[in-house]
């Protein structure tokens, strides 16, 4: 860890690493997707410098330099606990929030629990399933994302070997090179054998995916009264992009923003473009 990283206690024994990504002005909390960590936001945060934001990005429980909860469980309410723990520990007063995928759901869950926490939110494809989508997933019985996490290679000969591997394989190959470098350099840890290994354990990632349809945030979206932009990339089959309209319809002050040229990892694919969209979204908030 660096001097720009703070440790924050959350619930269940989870201890969070919270990274100061710079800037000055109103606090802005950036929350990452499953399997990532806070420092992947650093390239985007640089494009917000000089625009009135002080950026902070936590490693949510079980990711990056943060610890897993003592019971090893990953119900998504715990990620809302993490968000609120960071807001309280850093003394943030009505921060802006930017969340990607699970990180977007964590911000919504936190705002539902404590309305008025956030001044405004910008969410890229938040994982907030409508009830009928949850029912259909239950009937399907399988969880391809969880199964894929368990199959993912977690150990490499070096940081460079890990980078080279991801740089040639979708969807990581679509990431901005600087984002991918941050994902590898801060998402892997050296071992005693001289190799590097993922900090977010595959079994934890798989469990997070399995729990992704159980948090019930959709039913409480009416509690989120701050302005919310829900952005998405191109719609290709089943996924968070497919039900963005329904999320926005359930929000008192929500609107859709389209980025058809991007995929689900949009903020990590083109951080400068999404930083510009964030500045535009928060300009009137």
What band does 255 get if pLDDT is binned at 50, 70 and 90? very high
Higher pLDDT, 194 or 211: 194
User: Which residues, 6 or more positions from 61, have their beta carbon under 8 angstroms from its beta carbon?
Assistant: 10, 12, 14, 16, 67, 68, 69, 74, 78, 79, 82
Please tell me the predicted confidence (pLDDT) of residue 136: 65
**Looking at the predicted structure, is the pLDDT value of residue 194 above 60?**
yes
**Of 270, 284, 250, whose CA–CA distance to 124 is shortest?**
270
Residue 177 phi/psi, 5° resolution?
Answer: -55, -35
Domain ranges of the chain: 5-137+214-282
pLDDT value for 140 = 60
Q: Using a pLDDT cut of 70, give the percent of the chain over it.
A: 96
Q: Quick one: which of 133, 134, 127, 60 has its CA closest to 100? A: 127
Mean residue pLDDT across the chain: 94
- Measured in degrees and rounded to the nearest 5, phi and psi for residue 132 equal -70, -30
- Note the pLDDT tens digit of each residue in 73-95: 999 999 999 999 999 999 999 99
State which CATH number among 1.10.150.120, 3.40.50.1820, 1.25.40.10, 3.30.1180.20 fits the domain covering 5-137+214-282. Answer: 3.40.50.1820
**Average of pLDDT values for 34-47?**
98
* 180 contacts 163 by C-beta, under 8 angstroms: yes
Residues 6 or more apart in contact with residue 278 via CB below 8 angstroms: 44, 48, 98, 122
């Amino acid at each position: 860890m660096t001097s720009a990283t703070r440790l924050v206690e959350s619930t269940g024994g989870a201890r969070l690493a919270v990274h100061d990504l710079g800037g000055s002005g109103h606090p802005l909390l950036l929350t990452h997707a499953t399997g990532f960590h806070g420092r992947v936001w650093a390239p985007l945060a640089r494009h917000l410098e000089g625009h009135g934001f002080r950026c902070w990005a936590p490693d949510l429980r079980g990711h990056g330099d943060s610890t897993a909860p003592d019971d090893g469980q990953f119900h998504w309410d715990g990620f809302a606990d993490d968000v609120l723990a960071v807001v309280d520990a850093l003394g943030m007063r009505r921060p802006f929030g930017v969340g990607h995928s699970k990180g977007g759901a964590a911000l919504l869950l936190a705002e539902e629990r404590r309305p008025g926490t956030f001044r405004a939110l910008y969410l890229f494809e938040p994982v907030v399933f409508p009830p009928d989508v949850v029912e259909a997933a239950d009937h399907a019985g399988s969880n391809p994302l969880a199964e894929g996490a368990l199959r993912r290679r977690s150990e490499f000969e070096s940081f460079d070997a890990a980078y080279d591997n991801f740089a040639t394989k979708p969807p990581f190959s679509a990431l901005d090179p600087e984002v991918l470098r941050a994902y590898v350099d801060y998402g892997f840890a050296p071992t005693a054998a001289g190799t590097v290994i993922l900090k977010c354990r595959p079994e934890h990632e798989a469990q997070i995916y399995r729990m992704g349809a159980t948090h019930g945030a959709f039913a409480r979206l009416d509690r989120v009264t701050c302005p919310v932009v829900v952005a998405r990339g191109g719609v290709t089959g089943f996924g968070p992009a497919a039900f963005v309209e329904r999320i926005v319809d359930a929000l008192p002050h929500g609107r859709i923003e389209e980025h058809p040229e991007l995929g689900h990892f949009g903020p990590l694919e083109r951080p400068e473009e999404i930083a510009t969209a964030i500045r535009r979204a928060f300009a009137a908030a």
